């Protein structure tokens, strides 16, 4: 795996690799990479100097307004339903003066985790169980002010390690994948994973003091 703590998004890392290999991707791929960079940097609010350099490299013969248009399209029904379910199932806990939101959905866990932070939580963990693929997916997000004390990527790495899966990410956004134990009920797995995320968050926050 490739890790770049200084990168603002996975799409930026991919673009850097392509640039170093002297591979200039087709227009459609560049549009997708630009959308990913803008989305992960919150429309460039989190962008660094290197981010703008990559954008300048990618954007040749592309109308920037088209990128913004693609990012402002109404979300599809399945994503809207996932967000509503995440809010409906949300459990709130408080530790160290921070509000922790825990929830579960069937899909779109990453955008759901982002939504829970956008509506008021300081940090969120959203679990998705895919029984057909025997897979557990978890996404975590936190506010910038909290990311100065904890690192979401490190939290997800630790959770993944205990679940015998793989995880990681940036200071404010991270995720993991692990195998689903069919010997347990779906609700039992969700509860165990969310409790694990919460407890490791507490450990990391406590150690930051």
Instruction: Map out the domains of the chain with their CATH numbers.
Output: 10-71 (no CATH), 77-207 (3.10.310.40)
Burial 60-77 (b: 16+ CB within 10 A, else e): eeeeeeebeeeeeeeeee
**pLDDT tier, 123 (very low <50, low <70, confident <90, very high otherwise):** very high
Tell me: the pLDDT tens digits for 23-73? 999 888 899 899 989 888 888 888 889 999 999 999 999 998 888 888 876
- This prediction's pTM: 0.73
Exposed/middle/buried for 135, CB within 10 Å: 0-12, 13-18, 19+?
middle
**pLDDT tier, 77 (very low <50, low <70, confident <90, very high otherwise):** confident
Tell me what the mean pLDDT of segment 181-193 comes to.
Answer: 90
Please tell me the predicted confidence (pLDDT) of residue 130: 86
Percent of the chain scoring above 90 in pLDDT:
63
Tell me what the mean pLDDT of segment 129-146 comes to.
Answer: 91
**pLDDT tier, 133 (very low <50, low <70, confident <90, very high otherwise):** confident
Tell me: the pLDDT tens digits for 1-29? 555 666 778 889 999 999 999 999 988 88
């Amino acid at each position: 795996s490739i890790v770049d703590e200084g990168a603002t998004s996975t799409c930026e890392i991919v673009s850097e690799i392509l640039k170093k290999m002297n591979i200039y991707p087709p227009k459609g791929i560049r549009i997708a990479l630009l959308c990913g960079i803008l989305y992960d940097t919150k429309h460039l609010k989190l962008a660094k100097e290197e981010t703008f350099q990559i954008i300048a490299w990618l954007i040749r013969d592309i109308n920037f307004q088209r990128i913004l248009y693609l990012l402002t399209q109404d979300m599809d029904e399945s994503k809207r339903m996932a967000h509503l379910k995440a809010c409906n199932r949300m459990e709130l806990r408080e530790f160290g003066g921070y509000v922790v939101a825990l929830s579960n959905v069937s899909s779109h866990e990453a955008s759901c985790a982002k939504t829970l932070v956008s509506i008021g939580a300081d940090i969120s963990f959203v679990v998705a169980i895919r029984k057909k693929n025997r897979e557990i997916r978890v996404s975590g997000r936190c506010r910038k002010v909290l990311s100065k004390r904890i690192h979401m990527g490190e939290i997800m790495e630790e959770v993944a390690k205990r679940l015998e899966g793989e995880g990681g990410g940036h200071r404010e956004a991270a995720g993991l994948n692990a195998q689903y134990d069919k010997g347990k009920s779906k609700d039992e797995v969700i509860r165990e994973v969310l409790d694990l995320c919460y407890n490791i968050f507490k450990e990391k926050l406590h150690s930051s003091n």
